[in-house]
Copies of this chain bind each other. A is one copy, B any other.
Amino acid sequence: MKKVEIFDSTLRDGAQGENINFSAQDKFNIMKALDEFGVDYIEAGNPSSNPKDVEFFKMASEYEFKNAKLVAFGSTRRKGISAEEDANVRALAGANTPIVSIFGKSWDMHVTEIIKTTLEENLQMITDTIKYFVSQGKEVFFDAEHYFDGFKNNEKYALEVVKTAEAAGASRIVLCDTNGGCFPDEIFEITKKTIEALKTPVGIHCHNDMDCAVANSISAVKAGALQIQGTFIGIGERCGNANLSSIIPSLCLKQGYECEKIKNLSALTKTARYIAEVSNVILSDNKPYVGKSAFAHKGGMHVDGVNKNPKSFEHIPPELVGNERNFLLSEVSGRTVILSKLSAIAPELTKDSPETKEIIELLKEKEYKGYQYEAAEASFELLVKKHLKKLSSFFEIEYFKVIGEKSGEKQNPSSAIVKVKVGDRNEIAADEGDGPVNALDKALRTALKIFFPELDEVRLIDYKVRVVDSSSATAAMVRVLIETTDGKDVWTTVGASTDIINASVQALVDSIEYKLMKTR
């Protein structure tokens, strides 16, 4: 088995992404998740850069790592002073981490135009800084910033930079495509030439500005790089860093590489989704390997193929990365999908049962009216169970009224009255809210909680509106999707109508009935 090392920079380069704002506790939680998953190194920022990081490094120093080593990050000393005289360098040496990662310039243009010094002084800055950290007992990784652009512009100088870092005692030389502008074949060639010029193991650090960061990282590994730097879900400055949750399974499952500390690759999906949650980032459904749709099949022929042989439309079995296969319900999906969904709800039905045919017809009719059950499996389950008379409604809405009004600049809150019937008892409740739907939602819960106290645990977490046929303008059909949780499960329900209030009420009612079906 060929070995690779995983270096995660979610907490450092990832934090440079737009809208990413980690608290010290967020950083600690992500660090723990990465350590448990089994990455080799966790780069966590500069311990002296701000009070949040001071706090984080203090928390981290009390944590016992299972797998990973913690890395602090900084730059070479400033020009014109010694390493010891540079306050940032001294602060970094004081960090309680076994390893420091130091970046330095390797593109001659950057040396002369950006930090405005001589090519010789830049080499001296690299030597001094690395030697200083080595003398302090640290292991040093050297990040050659803009290495590939530098190599293309001045091959000789770029090689001189990395050889200088090697001579000064760095234990890894990391080649960075900082601007994300290189293609896999360029990365391969330059990495290969560089490895031939060095004895020290090489790392690769790519950015995704051309959608090539994953392919670039893999081609560097094929050229002989040992260490892969990236962020677990691909967050980072501009278009993000190389996405480790794509690179790791591709190398381990398809290229015969081993990440020694990853004992359980099937924790991949869970770990990626957890990190997204803590980072407050929406993980795209179509994210390779770990997204909700990564193994979702919609076309009838694809569904049929996967049923005959999963290899026909899946490049790996989803369970290897802890994800799952999903057959989407839609007008183009065949009978097979519906059957596989039905079998979980009503195992007694076969494809020839008259009820199966009825349900398929019912589904078509509903989809024609604007409903969509692809993302609303809770509504689908209620629909089927009610059709099969396995379930009857827990409550009825006798009537509701909503009023919205505005006088001049003054907007009153919307208000709603709802009368519900449970068995032979009635209850009327009213409430106000941000808009008519919110007012109705609140009034409905107030009325129902008297009968069903468990609704106290239920909380809406997502509300989506889609205008189905927008060309009828304000009289258009709208579809509402509501996502609900009770702290344990999450379920999605749907409503459709030309009236957004009515569509919302349908989805709200389903959301509540689904909870009651679980508890009663």
Contacts and interface: CB of A to CB of B under 8 A. Distances in A.
B372 A285 contact: no
A123 interface: no
Contact of A210 (B180, B288, B402): B288
A465 interface: yes
Interface in A357-416: 372, 374-375, 396-408, 411, 414
A504 interface: yes
B482 A209 contact: no
Contacts of A21: 330, 372, 466, 468
A314 interface: yes
Contacts of A499: 404, 411, 414, 434-436
A438 interface: yes
B239 A291 contact: yes
21 contacts: A17-B286, A113-B308, A113-B309, A178-B313, A179-B313, A181-B316, A184-B219, A209-B289, A212-B215, A214-B215, A236-B286, A237-B298, A238-B297, A398-B407, A400-B406, A404-B499, A435-B475, A435-B498, A438-B475, A460-B474, A463-B470
Contact-size category for A: 35 or more
B500 A110 contact: no
Contacts of A316: 181
Contacts of A482: 473-474
B464 A467 contact: yes
A375 B19 contact: yes
A336 interface: no
A315 interface: yes
A239 B318 CA distance: 13
Contacts of A468: 21, 23
A474 B288 contact: no
Contacts of A185: 184, 219, 222
Nearest to A442: B474
A136 interface: no
A225 interface: no
A433 to B, nearest CB: 6
A476 interface: yes
A50 B331 contact: yes
A211 B214 contact: yes
A502 B435 contact: yes
Given A292-B18, A315-B180, A436-B501, A408 B404 contact: no
Nearest to A218: B183
Main secondary structure of the interface of A (DSSP, over half): mixed
Contact of A315 (B181, B246, B295): B181
Interface in A476-520: 476, 478, 482, 497-502, 504-505, 508
A124 interface: no
A471 interface: yes
Given A288-B209, A297-B237, A434-B498, A179 B463 contact: no
Given A285-B18, A374-B18, A474-B437, A109 B312 contact: yes
Interface string A311-338: 1111110000000000010111000000
A508 B309 CA distance: 53
A208 interface: yes
A248 to B, nearest CB: 11
A406 B419 CA distance: 10
Contacts of A404: 400-402, 436, 499, 501-502
The winner among A214, A315, A328, A472 for most chain B CB atoms within 10 A is A315
Contacts of A406: 397, 399-400, 502, 505
Contacts of A179: 313-315
A109 B247 CA distance: 28
A289 to B, nearest CB: 8
A296 B16 CA distance: 10
A269 interface: no
A273 B284 CA distance: 16
B286 A238 contact: yes
Those 4 A-B pairs whose CB atoms lie nearest each other, nearest first: A181-B315, A215-B215, A460-B473, A435-B499
A160 interface: no
A285 B239 CA distance: 8
A441 B146 CA distance: 49
Contacts of A296: 18, 237-238
A374 to B, nearest CB: 6
Contacts of A433: 474-475
Contacts of A94: none
Contacts of A438: 474-475, 498
Nearest to A308: B114
Contact of A114 (B235, B250, B312): B312
Contact of A23 (B236, B434, B462, B470): B470
